[in-house]
């Protein structure tokens, strides 16, 4: 199959490429050149909310630059401040951003919530939440998982009780990523405890600074603060912040998760990791380090990962070609999410095997750290990708039932 750009697509690709080359702040260029491990805070939302003054200035500058083109939210309609891009234009845009390692702007507010509001929100909600999200004034966290409801998310128990023109929230959420650097939260809450578990759930948005909401940090492997527990004690949320119908929030949330699983930049990021590994082991310093890991034993694994990354890249094209024809990826998105997240983990583990004992060096500034300990740290962080947004086990169930038509049980 021919995936080459046509004339119009090639012109748009050149426009995006030139824009990034001209407007990406020096702060981000320096971060890319340093090739240091990317921590859980090293994204645009972390920079704008809790970064150094230099990081905050760069994040603001980059957001302003993208806003001039409507590229903060390239997939949103132009009437809501987006780029109005076709699916293939979005693919090209994301591909060029990933190749340049330029940060996407807006966090989950743009990529997840905004997309969901465009489908399920009313006009008042769109006007209230979309513009400040584009401007970076509203920074969003996702409140889904609970202590007893992770992969089986529909078992969530945090209550939202209707009281006149508001809801009263009580309960606890777990793995609330970005809550410490957000000022708004979207999530699913139990509004009818007597209904079947997939019904009786409602989708609400709320000010995370509301009285009764408390955020407790969770420090993950690598001593990083990327996620949190959130507690809700008699939190008052206006009823007009219900998205979609009451007790039908599961279907709103599933729409959001489908957006999250359609990550077409993943193949490029994986290929970059493999290319850097290959590039490094060709150098004298890299060859010295791999003596401890036994390069001959790992050569086949590196080659296999390269082939797998090509599979992932072509699968990304398959998904975007479906969207270009108006077909919503269903089990295909689950296949992409599962394959990409598990491939990142396999590549990371191969990387630490290649470098042997040197992979025990965590400090990226150590002279003994291969590639600034990139693979050492990604081996820790990559596990999260196989769980968040729906675990690999859940993705396999979706593929089996929706894709292959196999019975449940």
Residues 221 and 282 in one domain: no
61 is catalytic: no
Within-domain flag for 125: no
Give the Cα separation of 374 and 380 in Å (integer): 10
122: tokens are 């009313």
Dihedral sign (CA 240, 121, 403, 305)? negative
Tell me whether strands 140-143 and 184-190 are parallel, antiparallel or unpaired.
parallel
Are residues 290 and 392 located together in one domain of the fold? yes
111 inside domain: no
Under 8 Å between Cβ of 45 and 107: yes
Domain count, the chain: 3
Among candidate residues 320, 327, 329, the one with its CA nearest the CA of residue 86: 320
75 in a domain, yes or no?
A: yes
Would you state the pLDDT for residue 378? 86
Residues 75 and 172 in one domain: no
Query: Is residue 127 included in any domain, yes or no?
Result: no
What is the C-alpha separation between 100 and 33, in angstroms, rounded?
11
Q: 123 in a domain, yes or no?
A: no
228 CB-side CA count, 13 A = 19
Say yes or no: 253 and 272 in one domain.
no
Same domain (yes/no): 240, 177:
yes
Q: Of 257, 280, 297, which one is at a domain's C-terminal end?
A: 257
Do residues 399 and 299 both lie within one domain?
yes
Tell me whether residue 396 is in a domain: yes
Distance from C-alpha of 256 to C-alpha of 266, rounded to nearest angstrom = 18
Domain boundary among 215, 230, 257: 257
Per-residue model confidence (pLDDT) at position 291: 64
CATH for 253? 2.40.110.10
For residue 69, the domain's CATH number is: 1.10.540
Cα 170 → chain centroid: 27
- Please tell me whether residues 162 and 184 are part of one structural domain: yes
- What lies within 8 Å, CB to CB, of 322 at 6+ separation is 328, 329, 332
User: Which helix (DSSP H) or strand (DSSP E) does residue 230 occupy?
Assistant: strand 224-238
Rounded to whole angstroms, how far apart are CA atoms 117 and 244?
9
Q: What is the pLDDT of residue 294?
A: 61
Give the gyration radius of the chain's Cα atoms: 22
Nearest Cα to Cα of residue 121 among 258, 262, 259, 256: 256
| 245/267 same-domain check | no
Are 61 and 180 part of one and the same domain? no
Q: Could you say which of 232, 257, 282 is where a domain stops?
A: 257
Instruction: Mark the ranges of the chain whose per-residue pLDDT is less than 70.
Output: 1-2, 36-42, 256-263, 288-297, 409
Are 182 and 302 found together in one domain? Answer: no
Same domain, 210 and 284: no
Residue 73 lies in a domain: yes
Residue 110 domain flag: no
Taking the C-alpha atoms of residue 16 and residue 71, their distance in angstroms, rounded to an integer, is: 10
pLDDT at 260: 43
**Which residues form the domain of 266?**
262-403
- Among 15, 260, 342, 367, the active-site one is 260
What is the distance between the alpha carbons of residues 197 and 293, in angstroms, rounded to a whole number? 50
Spatial distance between the Cα atoms of 98 and 82, rounded to a whole number of angstroms: 19
Same domain, 79 and 155: no
CATH of the domain at 399: 1.20.140.10
């Amino acid at each position: 199959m021919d995936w080459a750009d046509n004339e119009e697509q090639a012109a748009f690709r050149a426009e995006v490429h030139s824009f990034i080359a001209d407007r990406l702040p020096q702060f981000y260029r320096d971060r890319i050149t340093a090739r240091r491990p990317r921590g859980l805070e090293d994204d645009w939302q972390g920079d704008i909310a809790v970064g150094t003054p230099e990081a905050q200035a760069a994040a603001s500058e980059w957001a302003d630059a993208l806003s001039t083109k409507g590229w903060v939210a390239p997939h949103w309609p132009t009437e809501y401040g987006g780029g109005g891009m076709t699916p293939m234009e979005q693919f090209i845009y994301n591909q060029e951003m990933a190749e340049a390692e330029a940060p996407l702007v807006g966090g989950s507010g743009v990529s997840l919530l905004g997309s969901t509001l465009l489908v399920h929100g009313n006009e008042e909600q769109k006007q209230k939440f979309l513009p400040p999200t584009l401007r970076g004034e509203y920074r969003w966290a996702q409140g889904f998982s609970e202590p007893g409801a992770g992969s089986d998310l529909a078992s969530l128990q945090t209550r939202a009780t209707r009281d006149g023109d508001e809801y009263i929230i009580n309960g606890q959420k777990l793995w609330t990523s970005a809550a410490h650097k957000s000022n708004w939260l979207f999530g699913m809450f139990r509004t009818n405890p007597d209904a079947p578990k997939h019904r009786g759930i409602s989708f609400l948005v709320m000010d995370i600074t509301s009285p009764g909401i408390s955020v407790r940090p969770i420090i993950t492997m690598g001593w990083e603060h990327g996620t949190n527990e959130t507690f809700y004690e008699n939190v008052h949320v206006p009823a007009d912040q219900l998205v979609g119908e009451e007790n039908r929030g599961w279907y709103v949330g599933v729409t959001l998760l489908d957006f999250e699983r359609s990550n077409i930049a993943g193949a490029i990021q994986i290929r970059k990791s493999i290319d850097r590994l290959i590039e490094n082991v060709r150098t004298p310093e890299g060859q010295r380090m791999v003596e401890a890991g036994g390069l001959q034993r790992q050569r086949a694994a590196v080659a296999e990962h390269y082939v797998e990354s090509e599979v992932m890249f072509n699968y990304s094209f398959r998904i975007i070609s479906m969207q270009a024809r108006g077909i919503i990826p269903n089990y295909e998105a689950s296949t992409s999410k599962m394959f990409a997240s598990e491939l990142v983990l396999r590549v990371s583990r191969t990387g630490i095997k290649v470098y042997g004992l040197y992979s025990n060096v965590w400090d990226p500034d150590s002279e003994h750290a291969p590639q600034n300990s990139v693979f050492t740290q990604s081996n820790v962080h990559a596990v999260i990708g196989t769980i968040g947004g729906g675990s690999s086990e859940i993705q396999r169930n979706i593929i089996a039932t929706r894709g292959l038509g196999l019975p449940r049980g």
